[in-house]
A = this chain, B = another copy of it.
Amino acid sequence: MSKLVFAINYKAYETAFNETALEIARAASRASDRYAGVRIVLVVPASTVSRVREIYDDVYVEHADPVGLGPYTGYIPADALKYLGVKGVLVNHSEHKLPYRDVDRVVSSSRSQGLESMVCADTPGEAAGLAYLRPTYIAIEPPELIGTGVSVSKARPEVITEGVKAVKAVADIPVLAGAGITYREDVIRAVELGAEGILLASAVMKAKDPSAAVDMFSEALSSARR
């Protein structure tokens, strides 16, 4: 059975850029060793990739633009991903939505470079459409719960069950659950509902003790029963 996934989205919090970014990477490294059944993916800003990669190597970049290599000042071309040293790319996050064809461009480009992709969806319907693109992972996050501390597993469990069903009807792609995940039981419940991992941000990035948070969520996933 493949590992459950714990994806930490650094977003653009101060902790995504300062020393905490590295502290979290060290915590991820330790937790990865401790919880063998859990894959921890750090999703970081383009400018943070190099520094985090020195500590931990399962790193995605938070976004890529649907362009090739060329005269595109200030963009991160999908086709440049292989040069970043990342394992994959997160795309279509609730805070950075793209039209479908642009998500397609980024997912296809990452695949043709031998890299992974994680695409976000607001709803089971959006997830179903994205499943046709065959990304490595699909993360479903009801946007109204993101950053609230009220978890999708508690407030909108049907989004997970229906999302998993909608995706699996198209292709066997692991579905991650996200939005408002804060407590150990949010994780346990998400997995019971069919999620094969979680995507979260503020519960780690804004935690008083980010390292402890990394360990706690890793342990929770490790204990979750599928």
Contact = CB atoms under 8 A, between A and B. Distances in A.
Interface of A: 9, 11-14, 16-18, 45-47, 49-51, 61-63, 67, 69-77, 80, 83-84, 90, 92-102, 104, 121-133, 143, 146-147, 166, 169-170, 201-202
Given A11-B72, A63-B73, 4 more contacts: A50-B50, A97-B100, A123-B132, A126-B132
B128 A71 contact: no
Minimum-distance CB pairs A-B, first 9? A129-B129, A125-B132, A63-B74, A17-B83, A97-B99, A50-B50, A46-B47, A62-B74, A12-B72
Contact of A12 (B77, B102, B121, B123): B77
A127 B101 CA distance: 12
Contacts of A129: 100, 125-130, 132
A51 B102 CA distance: 29
Contacts of A80: 12, 14, 16-17, 45, 47
A52 to B, nearest CB: 10
A134 to B, nearest CB: 9
A13 B71 contact: yes
A122 B143 contact: no
Interface hub of A50, A97, A129, A201 (most chain B Cβ within 10 A): A129
Contacts of A45: 46, 74, 76, 80
Contact of A126 (B61, B73, B100, B147): B100
Given A80-B17, A126-B129, A101 B143 contact: yes
